[in-house]
Chains A and B, each alone.
Chain A
Amino acid sequence: MKKKMCLLALLAAAAWLLAGKVLIVKVLRTQLLAKPDFLSNNLATMQKAARLELLETQGNWYLVRNANGSKGYVHQSSVSESKVSLSGIMPGKKGASDEELALAAKGFNEGNEKQLRGSREYNFADVDWVLDQDVAFAAVADFIKEGKLK
């Protein structure tokens, strides 16, 4: 009887592993937030391709758990659903799917940009300057509050 119970528990665990949804960060970096609000506390910064366990959906926000076990919120625009959830949980293959790799290789990517660098028609140095002048969410939050914005 005990063995049967254990077997059932194992099968249930396998089913849970298969059913559990995994989200993948699809932007260069995003934040794990304390509340479903961009201006709430940042619990962790996550990089592209980080895998998150989906716990709950709240409107446009997901409650997730990251690889370190921290729970928090991410906006749906920053993540995509993983097609093969087990690869994120089980040992072995990590990172982009074969389809993602194929598209990255055959589509537009950093390699295209490298071939344009150095051409007079493309000023990437100033593009990099623009991208370096970033402002933190905390500064945006202060700016909103000070200006009586929403």
Chain B
Amino acid sequence: MKKLLLLLCLCLLLVSWKLPSLSKISKAKKGAEMVAGATHKITEEEEYYIGRAVAANILSQYSLLKNKSLNRYLNLIGKALVLKSDRPEIYGGYHFAVLDSAEVNALSAPGGIIFVSRGIIEMAENEDELAAILAHEIQHIVSKDPLQAIKSQRMKSLGTFAAGEALGSSSEVLSIFKNSVLDITGTLLQKGYSRGQEKDADLGALDLLVAAGYNQDALLAMLEKCRGIEKKKAKAFSAHPSAAKRVDYVSDALGKKSGKDMSVRFSRFRKNVSR
């Protein structure tokens, strides 16, 4: 029995001795790779904190509409869509909110905070159209498009700190953080995403709408409305490329009809979205 216990102890010692050495090799290898590449890869937790700061920056420029029943309705639509997406669970979860602005606008901050303006909600005529707007924004989060707005130089600097080549002070990291937030906010509020990113979000939104049981035609209907008001400079949702071009490729991509019975959705839209 004693011998067996001794053998067991030896086994465990061997294991505990072996693991750290493997871990060290792995760390050294990873460190070498990071120094060579030196570009910081943003973790989901970091995406969450950048997203909170981007949202906070947007909410310093726009008022939040604190209508709890409308907000709950929007979150139920959004979450029904999210469950069918390629990224259903993210660090802090998805959250949807309304900006008290007459602009026709929708924005997605990194980490899943999605804003729609009062103006774009008023433009939607039914739940499926509202779902189409949210589906488009969810696709930007799934593709991590907001993070791609961060200038690559900032991630290289952060990567260098993380690799331990040059220890940055907290003020240096804070500066990179603030500038990254401004890169994203600038893209969301002024510059807009690239044509390719918008097209991918539109086509992904069509798939998401079908997967969730909503009517694909709703996206086309919203884009046609955007085309109608494009001269009035509708932001973000219709910014880039032009709504007319988006109507063309979305029309081409439309599949079979879905979302057959809309009666309950019509009535709950009327109940939750006051005119």
A interface vs B, CB < 8 Å? 3, 6-7, 10-11, 14, 17-18, 26-28, 30, 38-39, 75, 77-78, 83-84, 86, 98-99, 102-104, 106-113, 115-116, 120-124, 126-127, 129-131, 133-135, 137, 139-140, 143-144, 146-150
Contacts and interface: CB of A to CB of B under 8 A. Distances in A.
Given A27-B92, A86-B19, A122 B57 contact: yes
Interface stretch (B170-178, B188-196, B198-206, B233-241): B170-178
B55 A107 contact: no
Interface of B: 3-4, 7-8, 11-12, 15, 19, 23, 26-27, 30, 40, 42-46, 48-50, 52-53, 55-57, 59-60, 64, 66, 68, 71-72, 75-77, 79-80, 83-84, 87-93, 95, 97, 113, 127, 158, 161-162, 164, 168, 170, 173-174, 177-178, 180, 211-214, 259-261, 264-265, 268
B59 A108 contact: no
Given A11-B11, A28-B93, A116 B4 contact: no
Contacts of A135: 72, 75-76, 79
A102 B76 contact: no
A77 B89 contact: yes
A78 B174 contact: no
Chain B interface helix/strand/loop/mixed? helix
Nearest to B76: A143
Nearest to A100: B43
B60 A147 contact: no
Contacts of A146: 264, 268
B90 A98 contact: no
Contacts of B64: 126, 129-130
Given A3-B3, A147-B265, A107 B80 contact: no
B91 A26 contact: yes
29 contacts: A7-B4, A7-B7, A10-B7, A26-B45, A27-B92, A27-B93, A28-B92, A38-B83, A38-B88, A77-B87, A83-B23, A84-B23, A98-B27, A106-B173, A107-B162, A110-B49, A112-B174, A116-B56, A124-B52, A126-B64, A127-B59, A129-B64, A130-B97, A133-B75, A134-B75, A140-B79, A147-B127, A150-B84, A150-B211
Contacts of B158: 106-107
A126 B59 contact: yes
A123 B97 CA distance: 14
B49 A122 contact: no
Contact of A103 (B48, B113, B162, B268): B162
B88 A147 contact: no
Nearest to A31: B89
